[in-house]
Amino acid sequence: MENQENKNEIKYPEELEKLYKEALDAFEEGNYTKAKLKFEEAIKYHEKHNIPYNIDALKILSHIYLLLNENEKAKYVLSLILKLNPNDTNQIFKLAIALAQNEQYNEAIEILEELAENLKNSQNVNEDVLASIYNVLGNIYYHNKNLKKAEESFEKALKYKPDAETIKKNLEFIKNMKTN
């Protein structure tokens, strides 16, 4: 299979290029429903003609699905992306968000905890990403009614981003809940 990360190597048929242009135009205009429909049409075209996916288009579509709270569809598209690029941190993070929005908290927690560990052990530690992961974990633990773990997660998030007002407020909220 060709390298699908580099879409410059793939020349798409004119009909497919037209679908992508219409989808991107709609997305840029904020018409997410139209963009979604055009991207879905493009995916069907790929599948019908056995043409490698446009990974950038899949990423935009997964984003649209999350915006529209269509989490099952987001999970499907994210799984396609992760088959093509299993180490894409942003897409793994988005998958956890889709799971959490679908109230599949345990699966989301598992993915985020593993992602955080992998990132902490990597050479290029991105503290903003780790803060985001732990902030989301804190929110998930809160929704899962585990205030102790929520508090620990928000404290870890602040370790990576000490000036983040949202995280400070989340931690304060949890501490107040524990005392009431």
Q: Looking at residue 145, which CATH number applies to its domain?
A: 1.25.40.10
Same domain, 70 and 97: yes
pLDDT beyond 80 at 48: yes
Cα 180 to Cα 103: distance, rounded to the nearest angstrom = 26
Please identify, among 47, 80, 102, the residue that sits at the C-terminal boundary of a domain. 102
Same domain, 110 and 78: no
Tokens of 103: 């109230």
pLDDT beyond 70 at 3: no
Q: What is the pLDDT of residue 9?
A: 56
pTM: 0.81
**Structural domain that includes position 68:** 1-102
Same domain, 95 and 132: no
pLDDT in tens, 4-37: 444 445 778 999 999 999 999 999 999 999 999 9
Percent of the chain clearing pLDDT 70 (strictly above): 94
